Amino acid sequence: MSFVQDPDAMTGGRAECPPVAADIVYQRLSALAYEHEQIARYRVAELGYKFIEHIHDETTGADAIVVCSDFEVVVAFRGTQKNYADIITDLKFKKTNFMNSGTGKELLVHRGFDEQWSAIRKRVFMVINAAAAGRRSIKATGHSLGGALAVLACLEWRLINTCITFGAPRVAEPGIGQAMRELGVRHRRYVYAADIVPIVPLMTMNYRHDCPPIYLTRAGRAIRDCPLWRESLGRARALLTVKWRAGWTVCPVPARMFTDHRIGEYGAAMARTSWK
């Protein structure tokens, strides 16, 4: 059975009202980016896609898989793993210049994310170019750090017309919103419950998202174009739990800040979600 659907075709290209159920396939592809290549090859076929290539950079730890169906090519970037390279990448908060293909102007972006993207960008473009012939859509997707890399790919390459991210962190300075709009990229940015990653790096560090999220609540609702205050309220409610544990400090922290970030939690939340 094929799970492949084209949400943009189903909605007439109206990104403001995508069916959450149709985006589950991209959540699954984002999850497969974490898997061993042989497992990913087998499981993308179950989703109705053909596996093209696994792209990896040993130095930075960057990973992505490229798959295709009859109507689209998808590059799915892997998120943060518990290894030295990924942790160092996430902690490189200092910004660096990034050339925005939409305006031809430089944009300040997260240095660590830029280093991972730069390590695999040429190969990603080469593989996508070879696979794109005759297919009307090129999409980038990813979870966590993978979502940040998907955004950078869209900023640099005009042919990527849709971005679907899950629990992605902030990537760049406030100008990123205008840059994505000028490129015409449809970004469906999912945030679930108490997930802490979408609120870092902090706004006080002059980092911003490019668009409001589709906020998935623990009660099974999807709030599109969710304002920051509503997302913050939902996150606070989700943290009302007795499940506290030691985090990065000696002080206990709410466990849901971390467990809600798991890619599997996003899939489960999307499967039970309806629109508000």
- pLDDT score of 253 more than 70: no
pLDDT at 252: 59
pLDDT, one tens digit per residue, over 40-67 is: 999 999 999 999 999 999 888 899 999 9
**Rounded mean pLDDT of 175-190?**
93
Answer whether residue 96 shows pLDDT above 50.
yes
Give me the pLDDT at residue 19, please: 72
The predicted model gives 135-158 an average pLDDT of 93
Q: 15 falls in which pLDDT band (50, 70, 90)?
A: very low
Reply yes or no on whether the pLDDT at 260 is more than 70: yes
Residue whose structure tokens are 């849709």 = 162
pTM confidence score: 0.88
> Domains plus CATH for the chain?
7-275 (3.40.50.1820)
Could you tell me the pLDDT band of residue 139, with boundaries at 50, 70 and 90? very high
Angstrom distance (rounded) from CA 22 to CA 80:
25
Residue with tokens 């000028």: 182
Burial (CB count <10 Å: 0-12, 13-18, 19+), residue 184: exposed
**pLDDT in the model for residue 256:** 80
Residue 208 DSSP code: B
Confidence of residue 157 (pLDDT cuts 50, 70, 90): confident
Residue 235's pLDDT band, with cuts at 50, 70 and 90, is: confident
The average confidence (pLDDT) of the chain is 85
Most confident of 150-154, 216-220, 251-255: 150-154
3-class DSSP assignment, residue 121: helix
Please report the pLDDT score of residue 95 as a whole number.
Answer: 85
